[in-house]
Amino acid sequence: MNLADLFAAPPEVYLLALVPAVLWGLSPVFSKRGMSGGGNPLQASLTVVVVDSALYWAVLLALRGTDVFAGLTPATLALFAVAGLVGTSLGRIAVFIGVERVGAAVNSAAISTRPLFATALAVGFLGERVTLTTGVGVVGIAAGLLVLATARGGDISGWEPRDLLYPVAAAGAFAVGNVLRRFGLQATPTGALEAVALNETAALVGLAAFVAATRGRDVLDAPRRTFGYFAASGTLTAVALLSLFAAFAHPAGKVAVVDPLAATAPLFTAGFAAVLLEDVEAVTRGVVAGAALIVVGVALVVASTGGAPA
């Protein structure tokens, strides 16, 4: 894909892709407040998915009645369920562990490596080409992660470079989920609202089963005020995810276009965190530089591959 291809989509695709960037830039701020107040990653993951699932189902039932998924095959249901289990359940647990350990701004920057994984899937499974620009982009991403690892920013209590593995793992999980979602939205008659509801319901089932099998009610033994922060994060996530699914559902909403725009979230997080988290988190020049390097590197990788999954 060349530079012209990046601007070939209609304006609504770019707008739909930028909405999750802004909202996912803000939601980690609420998550960090919840963590700092005594919350935990599993509690955050479960609260967020309960809130957004409830919102989706309320809207679906109001608009469509009880016959919500009529006409969808078991294979379609399974596709979005797998996307939810991988791209939401596993991804969000890793996200919230990352927020707890390294802080909102650093975590969000590391997660923005997601399009690199999506592009790698396109190269490995769809035979997309790799050019010199791809190599430059990979170097940029690696440099950005190195800057983040050495920048004296993030959680003021300190963290280790290995803690970046959590947001990077989340990025990989989200990439798999996004590729599956784009495929499902283009290959089946599923609408964006039905798809996101299926995705989050599967994630809820997966997270609830994990909590029940591991820590049970202990995961909810947290100060009551922390649930409010995570519920706010869940509300923002509900709007962000629906917008992302709508972008993928658009005929021009290629992963190669939508994912990089959504991945600019860390630039917004850095700004929000600098203003709203100054008492618990340091947003240094190194954090901003690392986030910018990662975003530029991702853009180069995606622009040079001839297109991620369509």
pLDDT over 80 (residue 80): yes
pLDDT over 70 (residue 218): no
* pLDDT number for residue 253: 80
pLDDT over 60 (residue 5): no
Q: From the CA atom positions of the chain, what is the Rg in Å?
A: 18
Domain range list for the chain:
3-303
Better pLDDT: 201 or 154: 201
Instruction: Pick the most confident of 49-53, 84-88, 180-184.
Output: 49-53
pLDDT over 50 (residue 310): no
The alpha carbon dihedral of 188, 193, 199, 204 has a sign of negative
> DSSP letters along 155-208, please?
ETT---GGGGHHHHHHHHHHHHHHHHHHHHHHHS---HHHHHHHHHHHHHHHHH
How confident is residue 22, by pLDDT bands cut at 50, 70 and 90?
very high
* pLDDT number for residue 109: 72
pLDDT over 90 (residue 228): yes
Q: Which residues contact 69 (CB under 8 A, 6 or more apart)?
A: 77, 194, 198
pLDDT (average), residues 54-68:
86
Backbone phi and psi for residue 154, each to the nearest 5 degrees, phi listed first: 85, -150
* pLDDT number for residue 63: 86
- pLDDT tens per residue across span 82-138: 999 988 888 888 888 887 887 777 777 777 777 677 767 766 664 555 566 766 766
For residue 285, the Cα-to-chain-centroid distance in whole angstroms is 24
* pLDDT number for residue 56: 93
Percent of the chain predicted with pLDDT > 90: 17
Return the structure tokens found at 299.
């853009």
Return the structure tokens found at 256.
């190669």
pLDDT (average), residues 244-263:
80
For residue 149, which amino acid is it? A
pLDDT over 80 (residue 44): yes
- Helices 11-36 and 104-111, interaxial angle, to 10°? 140
Short-list 25, 3, 39, 102, CA closest to 228:
39
For residue 76, the Cα-to-chain-centroid distance in whole angstroms is 22
pTM: 0.74
Better pLDDT: 301 or 87: 87
- pLDDT tens per residue across span 274-300: 777 777 666 677 777 777 777 777 667
> DSSP letters along 208-265, please?
HHHHHHHTGGGGG-S-HHHHHHHHHHHHHHHHHHHHHHHHHHSTT--HHHHHHHHTTH
